[in-house]
């Protein structure tokens, strides 16, 4: 009787493994697809982020890159050196 | 007919005999199979249900310094169509809408696709080509078209997936990033091929249902090692600026090719490297890595090296006077001429570099070294100018510095090499030398790769340090003099065209004739320098080959340098420190209070005319009004008069000018 229980357990666990293998391969496929999508979108966003792309896009609005550097005004406490 | 018992027994006996014979044969076969052929069949069973599977290592990525992806592996999709497996009726209904969508998405006309699909139907084509090299979103779009959206069996949609190496940013430093495939191994991809590739693993697997394979053991037979990531020193934004600045000049001067390299002075990190060559159709693309491989005569940018040697040997000083005569000087029957064709009279050595007088520098060098040219050449060699830099990218060009006493040396060699003829350097070698001057004499090796690290794991990364080629190329005194000459070249010399009072540039122009021994003489315009003069942060070289419509280094190459420098200047914030409580602006505070006070009076329209648009909009919107504007600038008219009563949600029209 005990042996039969063990046999059933063994068969069941073999089936679970098989199911997991199939699931892994499905997830792997999904992962690859998502990766492909991610890279395609990231590539697009990186090109959009380039300064020359932005400059071209805002030209019509009359905007252009600053000629002078940005000024940071930092308030310092006179008591701390 | 009656049945005789003896007969029955007889028949049963025969039947038993036959059965026994079968049993015996089977038993013998079992023994034969088990014992004799057993091994063969066992092996066969294993080979059908087990296999050794290769686990492919993921190839590493190439990143820019800020983490932007420069090269990565990704899928590209090829789409084909099976016109046999699909339902004929559904297919007939879908041909027209499918053709229309394909035509709009891929180009060509709807008729073109209709014709091809009908042809495929008549030929029973189960593998009709639709499109290839699609990225994922494009693939998804095609997949959603009528009939394809029914899937593989009903829609006849066939997908073929290929792993390809992509440069997501396309044009950016393409040649320096390079690739590693059947075409060769240029750039960083080629130099770090082994690290990027990783090692494939092996695993024993057993066949299970649905055509899947499951691993037999817990551990892999051989563990795969994923390729490592390469983090380069490239700054995507600087690269973009440099790319477009160089491209603009190349187009303007219809040059054959050009290169621009930006290097960080202290570390030797290459922040931007652009190599553009002209294609047959007149457009420019990253064709070859000119900066690394192309060894050419540098021309006037080499004068700084000549001057350095002469100053170090203390044979001249910057104040030494030289007579540039009428801009021409004859030596062994050959003429050295100045580009202005009339000379500069008697000038100091420093001034002769600022105006880039060939006569000036060649006289200074020839007069002082003619009896011992070896001393001059040795001085150049001490700078390492005869040695390759040893950058990881393959195919670095070898420099040429002729040596006295060899076949390539003759009476005119010394004078001509003093202004950069008869010697050869790659742009990167020249830049490394200029960078050393900016870096207090410390010559550092150009650095392309910051770090080689494991994917998704910062531990165990190899960080590349800055490598010093020569800890001191010249005395501080000489370096200061050279830096001053280069600063004055921009202030009042050949590069005055790029002078600006806002920030200090230092550099040297080069206008060099190439191929001058043939009828096909052309110019190489260059500029090498660094900025800011006081505390150099970046050095930069620009080289343009075969420009037309102007060929001076100052007009062709220097503007690219200036653009890059300006960009860095404009992007670097200046910090002004103010002491707390040391300032009060009563008028400003009052204004601000009035402005915020108005926001609280939400029932009465304020007077916004004269106000800048952005202030007027925020004021009105804070009051709960809607604003529609026309034009840009300050408000010239408002649709609701000041003092009128208003309600939240009203729309106000403003005209700006």
Per-residue pLDDT reduced to its tens digit, B558-594: 999 999 999 889 888 888 888 777 777 777 888 788 7
Cα distances (Å, whole numbers) of residue B257 to B228, B251, B276: 34, 10, 6
CB-based burial of residue B328 (10 Å sphere; 0-12 exposed, 13-18 middle, 19+ buried)?
middle
Structure tokens at A78: 């006179």
Contact A75 B580 (CB under 8 A): yes
Q: Report residue B180's pLDDT band, with 50, 70 and 90 as the boundaries.
A: confident
pLDDT(B456) > 70: no
Kindly list the residues from chain A whose CB atom is less than 8 angstroms away from the CB atom of residue B579. Answer: 75-78
Q: Give the Cβ contact number of residue B125 at 10 Å.
A: 17
Q: How far apart are CA B271 and CA B260, in angstroms?
A: 11
CA distance A37 to chain B (A): 5
Q: Are B606 and B638 in contact (CB under 8 A)?
A: no
Q: What is the dihedral of CA B407, B411, B415, B418, to 10 degrees?
A: 20
* pLDDT the model gives residue A81: 58
Quick: pLDDT tens for B101-141.
Answer: 888 888 888 888 888 888 888 888 888 888 888 888 888 88
Smallest CA–CA distance, residue B134 to chain A, in Å, is: 10
Contact in structure between B362 and B419 (CB atoms under 8 Å): yes
Question: Which of B139, B122, B84, A37 has its CA nearest to residue B130?
Answer: B139
Identify the three-state secondary structure at position B645. strand
Name B41's bridge partners: none
Q: What angle do CA B29, B33, B38 make, to 5 degrees?
A: 170
Residues 6+ apart with CB under 8 A from B568: B238, B531, B537, B538
Q: What whole-number distance in Å separates Cα of residue B617 and Cα of residue B595?
A: 12
Query: Which run of H or E residues covers position B75?
Result: strand B69-81
Strand ranges inside B82-156, DSSP E:
128-134
Q: B438: how many CB neighbours lie within 10 A of its CB?
A: 26
Q: Average pLDDT in the B276-293 region?
A: 90
Give one DSSP letter per residue of B109-129, joined into a string. Answer: -HHHHHHHHHHHHHHT-S-EE
* pLDDT string in tens for chain A (81-residue length): 889 999 999 999 988 988 888 898 889 888 888 888 888 888 888 888 888 888 888 888 888 888 888 888 887 877 765
Chain B interface, mutation test: which of A40, A42, A65, A67, most B Cβ atoms within 10 Å?
A40
Asked if B124 contacts B82 with a C-beta cutoff of 8 angstroms, the reply is no
Residue numbers of B between 547 and 566 with CB closer than 8 Å to A: 566
Test A39 with B166 for CB contact under 8 angstroms. Answer: yes
Assign B359 a pLDDT band (cuts: 50, 70, 90). Answer: very high
Contact status of A66 with chain B (Cβ, < 8 Å): yes
Do the beta carbons of residue A49 and residue B75 sit within 8 Å?
A: no
What local confidence, expressed as pLDDT, does residue B59 receive?
Answer: 85
8 Å CB contact of A76 and B208: no
Q: Is the pLDDT of residue B460 over 80?
A: no
Contact list in B for residue A15 (CB cut-off 8 A) is none
Q: Report d(CA B535, CA B404) in Å as an integer.
A: 38
Closest by alpha carbon to B449, among B185, B171, B187? B187
E strand map for B257-394:
257-264, 270-278, 284-285, 321-323, 328-331, 334-337, 346-348
pLDDT band at B221 (very low <50, low <70, confident <90, very high): confident
| pLDDT tens profile B342-351 | 889 899 999 9
Q: List Cβ neighbours of B473 (8 Å cut-off, separation of 6 or more).
A: B308, B382, B383, B384, B433, B436, B437, B441, B442, B443
Mean pLDDT throughout B491-509?
A: 91
Q: Cα distance from A8 to chain B (closest Cα, Å)?
A: 18
For residues A60 and B602, the model is more confident at A60
Q: Is the pLDDT of residue B509 over 70?
A: yes
pLDDT for residue B265 is more than 70: yes
Contact B57, B225 (CB under 8 A): yes
**CB of B57 closer than 8 Å to CB of B227:** yes
Q: What is the mean pLDDT of residues B640-655?
A: 85
For residue B552, pLDDT over 90 is answered with no
Asked if residues B265 and B530 have their Cβ atoms less than 8 Å apart, the reply is yes
- pLDDT band with cut points at 50, 70 and 90 for residue B54: confident
pLDDT of residue B155: 83
Residue with tokens 């066992």: B42
CB within 8 Å: B170 and A47? yes
**pLDDT of B76-109, one tens digit each?**
888 898 888 888 888 888 888 888 888 888 888 8
B585 touches chain A (CB under 8 A): no
In the predicted model, is pLDDT for residue B1 greater than 70? no
Q: What values do phi and psi take at A26, rounded to 5?
A: -65, -45
pLDDT score for B220: 72
Pick the residue from chain A with its C-alpha nearest to B572.
A69
Cα–Cα nearest to B604, from B653, B654, B651, B646:
B646
pLDDT reported for residue B544: 95
Chain B residues with beta carbon closer than 8 angstroms to that of A70: 573-574
Please list, in sequence order, all residues whose beta carbon lies within 8 angstroms of the beta carbon of residue A73, skipping any fewer than 6 positions away.
Answer: B576, B578
Token pair for B368: 């002082």
**Taking the CA atoms of chain B, what radius of gyration do you get in angstroms?**
39
Q: How confident is the model at residue B2 (pLDDT cuts 50, 70, 90)?
A: low
Highest mean pLDDT among B165-179, B188-202, B289-303, B611-625: B289-303
**Which of A69, A72, A73 is facing B570, going by the closest CB pair?**
A69
| CB pairs A-B closer than 8 Å | 103
Q: DSSP of B593-640, one letter per residue?
A: HHHHHHHH-TTB----TTSBHHHHHHHHHHTT-EEEEESSSBEEEESS
Q: Which of A32, A66, A76 sits opposite B580 (nearest CB)?
A: A76
Q: How many Å apart are CA B271 and CA B236, to the nearest integer?
A: 8
- Say which range, B83-87, B384-388, B437-441, B470-474, has the weakest mean pLDDT: B83-87
Facing A69 at nearest CB: one of B75, B240, B571? B571
Q: Which of these, B396, B388, B431, B448, lies nearest to B189 by C-alpha position? A: B448
CB contact under 8 A, B170 and A37: no
- C-beta atoms of A72 and B574 within 8 A: yes
pTM (2 d.p.): 0.80
Q: What residue of B is the nearest CA neighbor of A26?
A: B212
Q: Does A75 touch chain B (CB under 8 A)?
A: yes
Residue contact A36–B136, C-beta within 8 A: yes
Is residue B172 predicted with pLDDT exceeding 90? no
What letter would DSSP give residue B294? -
CB proximity list for B221: less than 8 A, separation 6 or greater: B52, B201, B202, B203, B204
Angstrom distance (rounded) from CA B161 to CA B74: 10
The confidence score (pLDDT) of residue B144 equals 87
Q: In angstroms, rounded to a whole number, what is the distance separating the alpha carbons of residues B617 and A41?
A: 35
Q: Which residues lie closer than 8 Å to B72 by C-beta, 6 or more apart?
A: A39, B61, B62, B165, B166, B168
- The band of B535, judged by pLDDT with boundaries at 50, 70 and 90, is very high
């Amino acid at each position: 009787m005990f042996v039969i229980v063990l046999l059933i357990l063994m068969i069941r666990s073999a089936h679970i493994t098989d199911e997991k293998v199939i699931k892994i391969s499905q997830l792997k496929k999904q992962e690859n697809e998502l990766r492909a999508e991610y890279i395609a979108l990231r590539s697009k966003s990186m090109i959009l982020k380039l300064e020359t792309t932005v400059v071209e896009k805002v030209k019509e609005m009359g905007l252009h890159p600053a000629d002078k550097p940005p000024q940071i005004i930092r308030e310092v406490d006179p008591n701390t050196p | 007919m009656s049945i005789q018992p003896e007969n029955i027994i007889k028949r049963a006996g025969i039947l038993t005999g036959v059965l026994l014979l079968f049993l015996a044969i089977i038993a013998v076969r079992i023994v034969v199979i088990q014992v004799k052929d057993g091994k063969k069949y066992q092996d066969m069973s294993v080979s059908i249900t087990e296999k050794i599977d290769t686990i492919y290592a993921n190839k590493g990525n190439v990143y820019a310094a800020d983490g932007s992806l420069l090269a990565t592996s990704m899928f590209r999709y090829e789409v084909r169509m099976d016109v046999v497996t699909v339902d004929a009726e559904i297919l007939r209904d879908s041909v027209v809408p499918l053709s229309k969508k394909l035509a709009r998405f891929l180009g060509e006309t709807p008729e073109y696709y209709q014709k091809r699909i009908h042809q495929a139907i008549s030929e029973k084509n189960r593998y009709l080509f639709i499109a290839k090299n699609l990225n994922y979103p494009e693939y998804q779009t095609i997949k959603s078209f009528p009939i394809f959206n029914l899937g593989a069996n009903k829609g006849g949609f066939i997908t073929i997936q290929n792993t390809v190496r992509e440069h997501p940013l396309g044009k950016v430093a393409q040649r320096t990033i390079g690739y590693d495939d059947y075409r060769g191994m240029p750039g960083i991809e080629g130099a770090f091929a082994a690290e990027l590739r990783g090692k494939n693993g092996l695993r024993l697997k057993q066949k299970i249902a649905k055509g899947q394979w499951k691993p037999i053991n817990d551990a892999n037979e051989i563990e795969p090692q994923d390729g490592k990531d390469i983090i380069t020193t490239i700054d995507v934004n600087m690269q973009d600026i440099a790319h477009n600045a160089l491209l603009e000049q190349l187009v303007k001067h219809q040059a054959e090719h050009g290169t621009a390299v930006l290097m960080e002075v202290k570390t030797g990190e290459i922040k931007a490297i652009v190599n553009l060559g002209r294609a047959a159709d007149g457009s420019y693309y990253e064709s070859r890595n000119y900066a690394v491989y192309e060894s050419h005569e540098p021309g006037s940018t080499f004068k700084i090296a000549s001057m350095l040697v002469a100053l170090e040997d203390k044979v001249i000083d910057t104040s030494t006077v030289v007579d540039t005569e009428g801009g021409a000087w004859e030596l062994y029957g050959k003429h050295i001429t100045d580009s202005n064709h009339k000379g500069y009279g008697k000038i100091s050595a420093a001034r002769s570099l600022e105006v880039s007088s060939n006569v000036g520098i060649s006289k200074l060098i020839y007069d002082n070294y003619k009896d011992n040219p070896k001393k001059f050449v040795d001085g150049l060699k001490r700078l390492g100018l005869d040695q390759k830099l040893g950058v990881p990218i393959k195919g670095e060009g070898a420099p040429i510095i002729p040596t006295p006493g060899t076949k390539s040396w003759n009476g005119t060699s010394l004078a001509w090499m003093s202004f950069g003829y008869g010697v050869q350097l790659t742009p990167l070698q020249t830049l490394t030398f200029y960078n050393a001057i900016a870096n207090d004499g410390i010559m550092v090796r150009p650095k392309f790769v910051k770090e080689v690290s494991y994917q998704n794991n910062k531990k165990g990364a190899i960080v590349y340090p800055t490598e010093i080629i020569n800890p001191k190329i010249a005395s501080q005194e000489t370096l200061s003099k050279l830096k001053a000459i280069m600063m004055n070249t921009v202030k009042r010399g050949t590069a005055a065209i790029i002078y600006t009072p806002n920030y200090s540039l230092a550099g040297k122009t080069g206008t060099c004739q190439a191929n001058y021994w043939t009828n096909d003489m052309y110019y190489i315009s260059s500029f090498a320098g660094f900025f800011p003069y006081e505390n150099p942060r970046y050095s930069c070289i620009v080289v343009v080959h075969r420009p037309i419509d102007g060929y001076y280094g100052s007009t062709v190459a220097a503007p690219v340098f200036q653009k890059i420098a300006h960009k860095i200047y404009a992007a670097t914030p200046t910090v002004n420190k103010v002491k707390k409580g040391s300032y009060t602006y009563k008028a400003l505070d009052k204004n601000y209070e009035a402005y915020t006070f108005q926001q609280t009076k939400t029932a009465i329209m304020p007077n916004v005319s004269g106000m800048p648009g952005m202030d007027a909009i925020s004021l009105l919107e804070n009051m709960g009004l809607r604003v529609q504007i026309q034009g840009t600038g300050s408000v010239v008219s408002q649709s609701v008069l000041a003092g009128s009563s208003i309600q939240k949600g009203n729309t106000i029209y403003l005209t700006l000018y």
